[in-house]
A and B are shown apart, each in its own frame.
Chain A
């Protein structure tokens, strides 16, 4: 079985500051890991995914995430926050041939 814990339901950063959204997973098999973003009144859009290739994964809009097996983590980062990054972010895990299991989400606010 798989599960995801996102630390912090709400994160607030200043424009230009580092964005760090935390995700820890649990999986009984090698995991596939994902970050999705949801803008207000929209569906979810894939930011990036880890599927057992490179441990540092680059996604869209300048985001990246690093898979750390020893820490069971897949934290999302962006060096410099933009106002347009304000959204809800979801981490998700799959065991490979099973549906995604999502975390509860982290709302990112960007302050001018």
Chain B
């Protein structure tokens, strides 16, 4: 079964840091671009960042540039999101997801994890 499983969400104070992990199984991890999408309570999804299959190309939303870093370890089938200088506005469920077709960016995300909650509050 193709599966993504996020972990690492927690309650953190503003200005703090957190690292999320996304463990993959059931597909050839190293051949797919992966992405993080977040969803604040009661809001729609917001795309956060994407990393190519080889880890050499990345794009991020302006709202997280300079604070969040996406990375992957293809030997461990795991995607990461390092989040620094966290703000109250970063409070959300964070999902990892895989591209439908390899590194081809135009076709949407077909497999999503169950999400992990990040709460930024003092």
User: Do they bind each other?
Assistant: no
Chain A residues proximal to chain B, CB less than 8 Å: none
